Amino acid sequence: MSAFPETRLRRLRRTDGLRALVRETSLGLDKFVLPLFVGPDTKPNPALPALGRFSVDDLVRETEELVRLGVSAVILFGIPEEKDDEGSGAWDADGIVQRALRALDGTGLVRLTDVCLCEYTSHGHCGVIRDGEVANDESLDLIARTAVSHVEAGADAVCPSDMMDGRVAAIREELPETPIVSYSAKYASAFYGPFREAAESAPAFGDRRGYQMDPANVREALRECELDVAEGADVIMVKPALPYLDVIRAARERFDLPLAAYNVSGEYAMVKAAAARGWLDEQTAALESLTAIKRAGADVVVSYWTKDLAAWL
Ligand code: PBG
């Protein structure tokens, strides 16, 4: 390679057109998934608009707008009216997510669902509690039942996020033809704070470190992905995204499955808060973040900026 002055990398940075021509990573709306919260009534969130909650009727109106804007996929989270020890609202055929799925039939949106018990259990953990701990194998049945009820109500793909061992196999056994987007490498992260407030799913005692991953580990993330692939996952996911770009890259290099990354609520909230103070520009910071997540190797990005992105692109 010849060096300066023969080689000058600034040549290709001179104009918008040249920069676009040689850009290695691009953002297309068809690769983005918008999280949507559905509950008994509509509750806007002025500071963090994408973490607001919709009644089923208002959700239908919102999705009509999303379709007009060009959003292609959503992932649904439910906030039930009542919770119990087992989280039975999660697999209720007439539950909040199931009703929302039916209401969104025919909109053309790809309907993904988060499969987890934490929004439905009175204790806020992602499985059933035995002797003060989340019982793995007993929880699998309930998780699989939840996934089945989502598919019966119209889900196009199910996304288990509980981090129990064996959940992908348990769901796969019941649903041989449904795409499973597994939250394979989901870390026990501080960046889920705003989500837990919105979804009312903070654990009532303890934390999730007994099932979600230790932020210090990357080889273990690859083992999680490997197991999910072996159990029948169609898409693997890393979550959160920005503090874990190395994990995204490592998963990209090891696996040929589509790879998703979840740009979580705390990542969105940090930019929102700084922008509200005038410390940075939201749009530029968001686009840079999303580009970085794709550059690291994610094919699909779950992001609270998906609706804004439709306007920005
Ligand atoms: C449910 C779930 C969580 C998130 C997605 N699914 C919360 C958690 O595990 O505590 C977090 C999403 C976000 O912060 O945007 N288990």
CA distance 127 to 134: 6
pLDDT score recorded for residue 10: 97
Task: Judge whether residue 127 has pLDDT over 90.
Answer: yes
- Alpha-carbon radius of gyration of the chain: 20
Which has the closest alpha carbon to 180: 214, 197, 157?
Answer: 157
Token pair in block for residue 249: 């890259």
Q: In CATH, which superfamily holds the domain spanning 26-312?
A: Aldolase class I (3.20.20.70)
Residue spans of alpha helices (H) in the chain: 16-21, 56-69, 96-103, 136-152, 167-174, 193-199, 219-231, 245-254, 265-276, 282-296, 306-312
Task: Judge whether residue 225 has pLDDT over 90.
Answer: yes
Which has the closest alpha carbon to 288: 245, 246, 232?
Answer: 245
Contacts of 202 (CB under 8 A, 6+ apart): 124, 196
- SS3 label, residue 250: helix
Which has the closest alpha carbon to 100: 17, 167, 35?
Answer: 35
Task: Judge whether residue 215 has pLDDT over 80.
Answer: yes
Note the pLDDT tens digit of each residue in 96-105. 999 999 999 9
CA–CA distance from 120 to each of 11, 44, 72, 164, 222 (Å)?
57, 21, 27, 16, 30
The best mutation among 112, 119, 121, 161 to test binding of ligand 1, ranked by most ligand atoms within 8 Å of the C-beta, falls on 161
Mean of pLDDT values over 209-216: 97
> Are 239 and 10 in contact, with CB atoms under 8 Å apart?
no
Note the pLDDT tens digit of each residue in 241-282. 999 999 999 999 999 999 999 999 999 999 999 999 999 999
Looking from the CA of residue 203, the nearest atom of ligand 1 is 10
pLDDT score recorded for residue 169: 98
How many Å lie between the centroid of ligand 1 and the Cα of residue 6? 51
Contacts of 114 (CB under 8 A, 6+ apart): 35, 75, 76, 77, 159, 161
63 pocket-lining for ligand 1 (C-beta < 6 Å): no
Note the pLDDT tens digit of each residue in 17-73. 999 999 999 999 999 999 999 999 999 999 999 999 999 999 999 999 999 999 999
pLDDT score recorded for residue 59: 98
Strand duo 32-38 + 181-186: pairing: unpaired
**AA letter at 194:** P
The best mutation among 119, 134, 201 to test binding of ligand 1, ranked by most ligand atoms within 8 Å of the C-beta, falls on 201
**Which residue's CA is minimally distant from atom 2 of ligand 1?**
161
Partners of 35 in the β-ladder: 75
For the chain, percent of residues with pLDDT exceeding 90: 99
pLDDT score recorded for residue 2: 87
Note the pLDDT tens digit of each residue in 160-192. 999 999 999 999 999 999 999 999 999 999 999
User: Between 44 and 2, where is the model more confident?
Assistant: 44
